[in-house]
Amino acid sequence: MAEPLLEFRDVRSGYGEAVVLDGISFALPANGSLALLGRNGVGKTTLLLTAMGFVSVARGSIHWRGQDISRLAPHKRARLGLGWVAQERDIFPSLSVEENLTVIARPGRWNLTAIYALFPRLADRRANMGNQLSGGEQQMLAIARTLMTNPSVLLLDEPFEGLAPIIVEELTGAVRQMAADEGIALVLVEQHAEVALRLTQDAIILERGMIAHRAKSADLLRDNATLERYLGLKLGA
Ligand SMILES: Nc1ncnc2c1ncn2[C@@H]1O[C@H](COP(=O)(O)OP(=O)(O)OP(=O)(O)O)[C@@H](O)[C@H]1O
């Protein structure tokens, strides 16, 4: 069987003495997609930071296509194919959209033509400065910029936060297309559980830094009792 793309084995991590995550194990196959759900402060962002190497592993290990990357620096993980899109959408405000896209590009299938086909709004705005964009356009640019590094997995931290429903729809369409047509794996941290579950195959719910529940996303979407118990959600029937 093929090695998973990204695997956590019994990972503990946190900040200094403070343990935030403990006993985290999961395996994301190539082309897989995982929703990371949980209430505020349970450690979702920390899990992504740990995957990227910004937060170090105190116990357990992280593997990329079978290789132990637990001690690898973040830029080296990026070079292997981990693509991180921070919650802060840290695009360069004084560079144009096109400059933002080309400044960290690496050769591969994702070039300006492919990006502009996926995000036509960015093509319209290509000469605008980063700080002249709406929140939705900034989020598109943040995702597009990471795509330009031609990653094998995208780690998305609350990409839909604070965006109007119509923009969320546009973005989810792009993310779905990217995952389905281009085979990019996804780890999606999202407060909008319903949106996240519709975009992914598998889901993990974190509670107090540990995995409290795992399910197929489609099953969890119908499991109102679990959604209410761990997320306080009441989804429509
Ligand atoms: N830089 C830091 N130093 C110390 N503690 C931190 C740091 N960043 C986060 N924490 C703590 O780690 C815990 C988990 O935070 P994290 O941001 O990973 O949670 P989250 O599930 O992503 O929450 P949210 O949905 O609010 O973003 C919280 O208790 C938080 O206060």
Give me the pLDDT at residue 183, please: 85
Q: pLDDT category, 87, cuts 50, 70, 90?
A: confident
**CATH number of the domain that 199 lies in?**
3.40.50.300
Q: Is 236 exposed, middle or buried (0-12, 13-18, 19+ CB in 10 A)?
A: exposed
CA–CA distance, 219 with 234 (Å, rounded to integer): 15
Give me the pLDDT at residue 235, please: 65
- Which neighbouring-strand residues pair with 84? 155
Q: pLDDT category, 131, cuts 50, 70, 90?
A: confident
Distance from Cα 168 to the centre of ligand 1, integer Å: 24
- Ligand 1 lined by 208 (C-beta under 6 Å): no
Q: How much is the mean pLDDT over the chain?
A: 93
Other Cβ atoms closer than 10 A to 70: 19
Does 236 map to a domain?
no
Does 186 map to a domain?
yes
Distance from Cα 10 to the centre of ligand 1, integer Å: 19
Q: pLDDT category, 48, cuts 50, 70, 90?
A: very high
Complex ipTM value:
0.94
Residue nearest to atom 10 of ligand 1 (CA): 15
Give me the pLDDT at residue 157, please: 95
How far from the centroid of its chain's Cα atoms is residue 48's Cα? 8
Give me the pLDDT at residue 236, please: 59
- Ligand 1 lined by 140 (C-beta under 6 Å): no
Task: Note down the domain range covering 118.
Answer: 6-231
**Tokens 């759900």 belong to which residue?**
37
Query: How many domains does the structure of the chain reveal?
Result: 1
Give me the pLDDT at residue 89, please: 78
Q: Are 198 and 172 in contact (CB under 8 A)?
A: yes
Does 1 map to a domain?
no
Does 163 map to a domain?
yes
Does 191 map to a domain?
yes
Does 237 map to a domain?
no
- Ligand 1 lined by 184 (C-beta under 6 Å): no
pTM, 2 dp: 0.93
- Which range has the worst mean pLDDT, 43-47, 170-174, 213-217? 170-174
- Ligand 1 lined by 44 (C-beta under 6 Å): yes
- Ligand 1 lined by 45 (C-beta under 6 Å): yes
Does 91 map to a domain?
yes
Q: Are 129 and 93 in contact (CB under 8 A)?
A: yes
pLDDT surpassing 80 at residue 202? yes
CA–CA distance, 67 with 63 (Å, rounded to integer): 5
Does 131 map to a domain?
yes
Cα–Cα–Cα angle for 164, 103, 196, rounded to 5 degrees: 30
Q: pLDDT category, 230, cuts 50, 70, 90?
A: very high
Q: pLDDT category, 82, cuts 50, 70, 90?
A: very high
Q: pLDDT category, 1, cuts 50, 70, 90?
A: low
Give me the pLDDT at residue 25, please: 98
